[in-house]
A = this chain, B = another copy of it.
Amino acid sequence: VTESRESTKLAFLPPEDWAPGMRVHEIDLAPSGSHLTPFKSSRFEVEAGCSSPVDQHEVREIWFIAQGEGELTYDGVPMRIRAGEVCCFEPRKPHAVVNDGASTLVVFSVWWG
**Which A residues are within 8 Å of any B CB, using their own CB?**
1, 4-5, 7-10, 27, 29, 31-33, 36-39, 41, 43, 60, 62, 64, 66-67, 72, 74-75, 77, 79, 81, 83-90, 106, 108, 110, 112-113
Bound complex: CA of A29 vs CA of B90, how far in Å? 12
Q: How far is the CB of A82 from chain B (nearest CB, A)?
A: 10
Whether B36 pairs with A87 at a CB distance below 8 angstroms is no
Whether A32 pairs with B60 at a CB distance below 8 angstroms is yes
Partner of A108, one of B29, B74, B108: B108
Output the nearest chain B residue to A25 by Cβ-Cβ distance. Answer: B84
Number of copies: 2
Partner of A79, one of B5, B38, B89: B5
- Whether A8 contacts B87 in the complex (CB less than 8 A), given A36-B113, A108-B108, A113-B36, comes out as yes
Partner of A8, one of B27, B33, B79, B84: B79
Bound complex: CA of A27 vs CA of B112, how far in Å? 17
